[in-house]
Chains A and B, each alone.
Chain A
Amino acid sequence: MIAAIASTLDCRGLLCPLPIIRLSKAVKTVDVGAVIEMLATDPGSVPDMEAFEHQTGHKILERSEAKGTFRFLVQRTK
């Protein structure tokens, strides 16, 4: 069961590197364990989010795509 979404970060229309920069800042504003919903339209955000997870250790709990919008649920882990 996924924890409640603490905040939504709308990065639709933003291009690299803004989604990752905004996510990095947003993660630091929530408690450890909290979940952020992140929306993006840049196709590059998919591999970028995987790299973000790999390097920072914050976890992507869910990912989906609908009508060109990518949705990620990211949990702060530390």
Chain B
Amino acid sequence: MDEDVKRILYVQTTGTEQPERSATVFFLAASGAAMDMEVGIFFTQLGPTLLQRGVPETLRVRKGGVTLGHFIEQARDIGVKFYVCQPSLELTELKLQDLIEGVEMIGGAAFNNMALEADQVICF
């Protein structure tokens, strides 16, 4: 682990039920990665529904605006990592294979470890 690199961990708790709350985490995370930080987003509670296959292409953050996929790709393209945990997948009746590519499954221990090692944890 490079001690000089700053780390931010975002936590996203809302999902497709609140489209207006879906994009912020991705563009803030992308901004952090653009500033050479290591940035991850942990999707919990209803957050994983944003990553369900088919959702990024269809969910519009605001009426007439771009789809959520635009923001997801922007973040992923610049190196933001996406994490989910098993209990929240069960809550939302999703499986890891129902989600878009490149999402990593972690558990509570790994999340807490990431949180302690991050310079900041920001929750949405």
User: What mask results when residues 32 to 70 of chain A are scored 1 for a CB within 8 Å of chain B, else 0?
Assistant: 000000000000000010011001100000000000000
Q: Which of A17, A24, A51, A52 contacts B27 (CB 8 A)?
A: A17
The binding surface of chain A is classed by DSSP as helix
A23 contacts B by Cβ under 8 Å: yes
Main secondary structure of the interface of B (DSSP, over half): helix
Interface residues on A, range: 10 to 19
Complex CA gap A21/B32 in Å reads 9
**B residues adjacent to A (C-beta < 8 A):** 6, 27-28, 30-31, 33-37, 74, 78
Nearest residue, chain B, Cβ from A56: B36
Contacts of A30 in B (CB 8 A): none
Contact across chains for B27 and A20 when beta carbons are under 8 A apart: no
In the complex, how many angstroms separate the beta carbon of A24 from the nearest chain B beta carbon? 4
- For this complex, 27 residue pairs linking A to B, each with C-beta atoms less than 8 Å apart, are A16-B27, A16-B31, A17-B28, A17-B30, A17-B31, A17-B34, A17-B74, A18-B74, A20-B31, A20-B34, A21-B30, A21-B31, A21-B78, A23-B34, A24-B33, A24-B34, A24-B36, A24-B78, A25-B34, A48-B31, A51-B35, A52-B34, A52-B35, A55-B6, A55-B35, A55-B36, A55-B37
